[in-house]
Amino acid sequence: MEKLAQVDVSWTLFLDRDGVINERIFGGYILDYADFRFKDEVLESSKELFEKFARVIVVTNQQCVAKGLISPLDLNLLHDKMILDFQKAGSTINRVFAAIELKDTAPFMRKPHAMMAEMAKQDFPEIDFTKSIMVGDTDSDMRFGKNLGMKTVLIRSEEKTNVVPDLELNRLGDLIDFI
């Protein structure tokens, strides 16, 4: 089995949220934590996977805020509950960045734009994008990672993709076998 990278504790793991951490609602949004469903084995495998990295950063496009479907505060509370569930599983998510504007509007935080990665680097100056892995389920996730020089991992889903990732997996936890 070929390794994606020789990861050590200086590396950063960037994760998309919907479709990687939780079940994605195609054509809809997670607006309440009661509707947030972790994907199979994400919590169970997170401790072993996350401890291989110095940092775990979630970068998520959430235009549902700009559409007025959820407030920024309620989105932050949803993320706080997600982080707490990871903590209960013995795992740490160091930061969540959410792009809350509509697609193709300023301030252009949405992936594939690099702004959320740059914000992470401001918070954690030691981040080296060439020593980072981006895990997502869409072309914009893969472009985000590739544009920054990261290794890219696509989690297979119903989403049709055209960007070729460095690795394709069925679940996040499977990444442990490739690092």
Strands 132-136 and 151-155: parallel
Asked if 16 is an active-site residue, the reply is yes
List CB contacts of 109: < 8 A, sequence separation 6 or more.
97, 99, 100, 101, 115, 116
Side chain identity, residue 152: T
Q: Which of 8, 18, 40, 85 is catalytic?
A: 18
Catalytic position from the list 8, 16, 32, 40: 16
Burial class (CB in 10 A: 0-12, 13-18, 19+), 21: buried
Backbone angles phi, psi at 135, to 5 degrees: -115, 125
> Is the preceding peptide bond at 112 cis, omega within 30 degrees of 0?
yes
Instruction: Assess contact for 78 and 33: CB atoms under 8 A.
Output: yes
Active site residue 18: yes
Residues that are catalytic: 16, 18
